[in-house]
Structures are given as C-alpha cells and as structure tokens.
Amino acid sequence: MGSSQSLGVPSGTGPFKVGCTDVMADHTRQGSFFRLYYPTEAEQLKPVSWIPQYQYFVGLADYLDKSKMWFPPLLSLAFGHYSVPVGWNASFRAVEKYPVIIFSHGLGAFRTVYSSICLEMASQGFLVAAVEHRDESAACTYYFKPQMEEHSADAHSDLEEVWLPVRKLNAGEEEFPLRNNQLSQRVEECGRVLNILSEINSGTSIKNTLESLHLSDLKGCIDLQKVAVMGHSFGGSTSILALAKDKRFRCAVALDTWMLPLAEDIYSEVIGPIFCINSDKFQTKESLAKQERLKSKNNDLKIITIADSVHQSQTDFTLLTGDLLSRAFETRGRIDPLKGLEITNRAAMAFLQRHLDLQKDFDKWNALVEGNDTHLVSEPRHS
C-alpha cells in the first residue's frame, strides 16, 4: 500500500458492506449510548457525517483548551465535510451469527472518532458497538431530559438534549483518583452495552430514543459466546479492566493504552488474553513495565509496537488531517496513516481469531501478533 493520496475514512476491505446506526437505550444519563456497525446486504449505501453534531466541535475546543468562540468553526471547516462510507440505518444482514467487539474511546474522543477501525472490523464480519462514555471523559456527549414546556410537536416533543462536557482536572487535583473512578464507570458502561445486545439477541424489545434500523432484526444473530473488548488510550485501560471484571469478555485488544488509570491490585486479577498494540511515541518505560506485569497470570499477553507511529495513529484523525494540521496536533507519525491502521486492524483480527475461535482466515496475519514485520519494532523509541 502506497502513501495515502486523499484524505478520508476508507471503505472496509472485508467481504461485507457495512451498515451503521446509533442506539440510545434509556434517554437518561444512566442509559447507554453507542454506535453500532454491522454487516448489511443493502445495495445503496447512505454515508453518514463523521462528526454527528456541531456541538462535538465545541467539545473538542473545550478539551483542547481552545477558544469556544473561534476554534469550533475552524474545526468544522477542517472536518465538517467528512463522511463515513457506511449504510446509515441500512438493513441488517440476518444470515449468520456474528462475533462482537465492544469498543471504548480515548479521553477527549467520542463514539465516531474510531470509525475506520470499527468499519473495517464490521466489514470482516464483526458486530462492533462503539460506546460513547458518560463518565465525563468524552470531549462531550449528550442525553435527554423531559421538557417542562409542552408546546413542541416533534418526535422527541417531551425530551430535550442535555450536553455533558469533558471534566477537566482542577488545579492541584490528583489525576489518579479521578481517572480510576471514571474507569470503573467506563467498564460498567461496556458491560451495559453487552447487556443490551444480549436482550436484542433474545428478542426483547429495546426502546431506542434515536431513530435507527429495527433492532429486532438482530435477534438470534449475535454470538454472545464470542465477545471481545477493544479500546484506545483510556479505552485501552478500560478494555483491560473490563476483561478482569466481566467474564463475558474473552479477550482484550488494548491500543496504545494509557496505563495510569489502572489500580495496583488489578494486575493480579487479569487472567484473560490481552494484546497491546502500541505506538512508537506514547508509552514510557514505566507504562511498558506495567503492561509486562499483566503477564503475571497471563501467558497470552502480546505486546507489539508500530514503528514511526504516534498516539493518534489509531484514530481517524490520522487519516483526516493534512500536513499542516498533522504537524500542529501530532496526528501523524512517519508511517503512512493507512499502513499504520492496516497493521493495527490485521494484527487485532489475527489475535481475535485465536481467542474467539473464529472460522476465518485472519491467521494469515499471525506474524504481526508475534511482532514479526518490518513495520514493527521491539519497543517504543520515545523519540
């Protein structure tokens, strides 16, 4: 694969076309909110905006400590025209049972920032639920509350949006207690999304506050024996803790994990297989030592590092920023962005085949799991 010629979220390379919908089960802050990617047989696909609402640009400005007056319009100008090549609310391909990936986003991100990974996995035959966390780690997110006035006549006449901003560290505040607390909520939210998928699979009617495809179409097609948890950065530590706390998750794929939020006592509790796919720049010697400690009870720990990649190389931003923006926000390393994501996806799929007992051909990428590739280095170079 050569250099990325044009900016954009690429189509999946797997055998399936991909449908996509948003699910908000229970409109309150305590409810679940996630984007679901799934195989579709629809011929005509209807792409969806990469950034779902302008408010997310405001949230990103807030997270980046930029002016909420002038920065959101700039972000909108830079990213507002991008779409994700999926079939929005396209019909579900109800032909077989699909393994499941619950995906957890990083700090300051939200449910759509990893569309390229989620879309690729769905094109290869996974159901992928990208959680939008409500622990105040998302750049922003929203839920609904009942309206006081009764003059509105649209579909959500009795509900109004409430936006939840990112929670900043206060001056002098210790970071660990806040993040560890958020981590617990994140794990709970991942488990709750899995509960909802279980209910959908059994035919229980789920009330979705948002318009979507008929979730009842998924009945009997979700393979709840083959469930993995995956995430980037804060989502990486979320996936590790979720694996320790919820036995329904059979393995975890942790992308450039932020290790800080994990408490000391957790290292001895993790017994499932973990795959850490690191960038070349983010991990410190201390965080790598913590990753190695996950091996204490766990012979199925794999750690690889993608050469010349940066922390944002596993997000869509690496594909959507040109030279100027990528320099300003360090969204690109020296590796071609498409190549970096291809390695991440292929390595993850080979690992998932191994630990979810998939009848696929992903084992052709086993060498990546073992760290054997010219684009992999033995450890991050912190350069």
Report CA-CA distances (Å) from 174 to 164, 169, 368. Answer: 22, 8, 38
Which residue type, as a one-letter code, is found at position 34?
F
Asked whether residue 1 is domain-assigned, the answer is: no
Give the pLDDT confidence score for residue 2 in this predicted structure: 39
Distance, in Å, from the CA atom of 116 to the CA atom of 122, rounded to the nearest integer, reads 10
Among the residue ranges 125-129, 249-253, 327-331, 375-379, the one predicted with the least confidence is 327-331
Give the pLDDT confidence score for residue 323 in this predicted structure: 77
Asked whether residue 107 is domain-assigned, the answer is: yes
Q: What CATH number corresponds to the domain at position 73?
A: 3.40.50.1820
Active-site residue set: 233, 256, 311
Q: How confident is the model over 151-169, as a mean pLDDT?
A: 79
The pLDDT-based confidence of 295 (bands split at 50, 70, 90) is confident
Asked whether residue 383 is domain-assigned, the answer is: no
Q: What is the pLDDT of residues 26-45, one digit of tens each?
A: 999 999 999 999 999 998 89
Domain coverage including residue 281: 17-377
Q: Give 323 or 19, the one with higher predicted confidence.
A: 19
Give the pLDDT confidence score for residue 4 in this predicted structure: 45
Beta partners for residue 377, in sequence order: 305
Six-digit token string for 175: 């970071």
Asked whether residue 382 is domain-assigned, the answer is: no
Among the residue ranges 236-240, 288-292, 331-335, the one predicted with the least confidence is 331-335
Give the pLDDT confidence score for residue 3 in this predicted structure: 45
Among the residue ranges 136-145, 188-197, 243-252, 294-303, the one predicted with the least confidence is 294-303
Among the residue ranges 144-153, 218-227, 303-312, the one predicted with the least confidence is 144-153
The pLDDT-based confidence of 64 (bands split at 50, 70, 90) is very high
Distance, in Å, from the CA atom of 289 to the CA atom of 234, rounded to the nearest integer, reads 17
Q: What is the mean pLDDT of the chain?
A: 93
Q: Quick one: CA torsion of 49, 54, 55, 57, rounded to 10 degrees?
A: 90
Distance, in Å, from the CA atom of 81 to the CA atom of 76, rounded to the nearest integer, reads 8
Asked whether residue 3 is domain-assigned, the answer is: no
Q: Give 272 or 54, the one with higher predicted confidence.
A: 54
Give the pLDDT confidence score for residue 244 in this predicted structure: 95
Give the pLDDT confidence score for residue 370 in this predicted structure: 96
Give the pLDDT confidence score for residue 382 in this predicted structure: 58
Distance, in Å, from the CA atom of 343 to the CA atom of 333, rounded to the nearest integer, reads 14
Asked whether residue 11 is domain-assigned, the answer is: no
Distance, in Å, from the CA atom of 209 to the CA atom of 136, rounded to the nearest integer, reads 21
Q: Give 113 or 148, the one with higher predicted confidence.
A: 113
Beta partners for residue 29, in sequence order: none
Asked whether residue 136 is domain-assigned, the answer is: yes
Report CA-CA distances (Å) from 83 to 49, 52, 87, 206, 256. Answer: 4, 9, 11, 28, 25
Q: How confident is the model over 339-366, as a mean pLDDT?
A: 97
Residue ranges with strand state E in 221-351: 222-232, 251-255, 274-278, 301-306
The pLDDT-based confidence of 151 (bands split at 50, 70, 90) is low
Q: Considering only CA atoms, which of 304, 300, 289 is closest in space to residue 371?
A: 304
Element housing 348 (H / E): helix 337-356
The pLDDT-based confidence of 226 (bands split at 50, 70, 90) is very high
Helix (H/G/I), strand (E/B), else coil: 288: helix
Question: How many domains, in total, are found in the chain?
Answer: 1
Q: How confident is the model over 260-282, as a mean pLDDT?
A: 93
Q: How confident is the model over 349-358, as a mean pLDDT?
A: 98
Asked whether residue 8 is domain-assigned, the answer is: no
